[in-house]
Structure 1
Amino acid sequence: MINFHPTGNCPIRDVLSRLGDKWSMLVLITLNANGTMRFSDIHKSIEDVSQRMLTVTLRTLEADGLVERKIYAEVPPRVEYHLTEVGRSLIPHIEALVGWALDNMTVILENRKVNQ
């Protein structure tokens, strides 16, 4: 039997805790669809995310090496974000999950109604 205890290094817990939040996958899909983007453009693309939450999400994705931030020495400063190679390698898996959700959404919603 394989155990998934919370102690030690559990890659499943670690990765899912970072990607399973409300915004990370949306940011990754947005950057994949649009390429390099400025913060304000990402914010416009995902209307219901607060600026603070978007900042936290981008920093987390950057810390994990999924997103890269480039700062241009201009006045005013310009900052752009894009997916790294590791970030791009994650996209097919996210798209598969989105496809599964789309294929099964009707059944899931029906089950929710029955079990309320």
Structure 2
Amino acid sequence: MNQSAYKRKEDCPLTFALTLIGSKWRLPIIWALWKNKTLRYNELKRHVEGITNMVLSQSLKEMENQGLVVRRQYMEIPPRVEYSLTKAGEELVPSLESLAKWGKGMQATVKSDV
């Protein structure tokens, strides 16, 4: 990737991608949905330990608007809502796995240097 080709950092595809997943709770939400395929709101909240209702709700709305998460509402009594990753969200996971593998190697390197 030729970073110098972008006059503004906002134009860089990598910077854009990192803004989509870079908040504290995005990766745990993506990972929980990847592992479980489809989760209802409260199930998702249990899988993402420590997240508040407000932050989870806001994150899901933003991720839905960005095309990473799909929300399915069923017209039942009581109402049922399920969340899952979109195709774009699923395509992100192999990159995250590679990044996690790199991070694991870096953890070992940094710890041994300390």
Short-chain TM bin = 0.7 to 0.9
Q: 2:73 aligns with which of 71, 74, 80?
A: 71
C-alpha spacing 1:110/1:56, structure 2 compared with 1 (3 Å): farther
Unaligned regions of 5+ residues in structure 1, if any?
none
Task: State percent identity of aligned pairs.
Answer: 31
Counterpart for residue 38 of structure 1? 40
Q: Distance in 1 between matches of 2:94 and 2:23?
A: 18
Q: Distance in 2 between matches of 1:108 and 1:44?
A: 32
C-alpha spacing 1:58/1:110, structure 2 compared with 1 (3 Å): farther
C-alpha spacing 1:27/1:49, structure 2 compared with 1 (3 Å): same
Q: CA deviation at 1:6?
A: 4.0
Q: Report Cα offsets for 1:55-101 as digits up to 9, x if no partner.
A: 11111211111110000111221110011111111110011111222
Q: How many residues align?
A: 112
Counterpart for residue 108 of structure 2? 106
Question: Which residue type is aligned with residue 63 of structure 2?
Answer: L
Q: Distance in 2 between matches of 1:97 and 1:79?
A: 31
Q: Report Cα offsets for 1:12-70 as digits up to 9, x if no partner.
A: 33221121111111111111101100111111011111111111111121111111000
* Length-normalised TM-score, structure 2: 0.84
Question: Which residue type is aligned with residue 11 of structure 1?
Answer: P
Counterpart for residue 58 of structure 1? 60
Q: RMSD of the alignment, in Å?
A: 2.0
* Length-normalised TM-score, structure 1: 0.83
Question: Which residue type is aligned with residue 61 of structure 1?
Answer: M
